Amino acid sequence: MGRKECKACGRFFEVEENDKDRLFCDACKDEEEENFKAVREYLFHNRGASAWDVAKHTGVSLRAIDRFLKEGRVEFITKE
């Protein structure tokens, strides 16, 4: 068991040995997944949308979208 810093809220949370790759605390995990689905869905229908467009239409923060990009979970966003 160890402690990790949540990538979304920055709070520390406990992780089990078999769950070491976890990036988010319990509070953020579900929200992060919902955000990711919303972003992916929007991009699917709006190819080439900018991160700003995505944030405006999905309500997901630019910070979260930026994180998805850095993690390589979403692609083909044209940077403005």
* 43 lies in the binding site for Zn ion (CB under 5 A): no
Q: Would you call 77 exposed, middle or buried from its count of C-beta atoms within 10 A (0-12, 13-18, 19+)?
A: buried
Distance in Å, CB of 50 to Zn ion, minimum = 27
Identify which of 44, 47, 4 has the alpha carbon closest to the alpha carbon of residue 25: 4
Selected binder of Zn ion within 28, 51, 60, 64 (CB under 5 A): 28
Selected binder of Zn ion within 2, 3, 5, 8 (CB under 5 A): 8
- How far apart, in whole angstroms, are the C-alpha atoms of residue 66 and residue 48? 15
Which amino acid belongs to residue 16?
E
* 64 lies in the binding site for Zn ion (CB under 5 A): no
Distance in Å, CB of 39 to Zn ion, minimum = 18
* 25 lies in the binding site for Zn ion (CB under 5 A): yes
How many beta carbons lie within 10 A of that of residue 24, not counting itself?
18
Which positions touch Zn ion (CB under 5 A)?
A: 6, 8-9, 25, 28
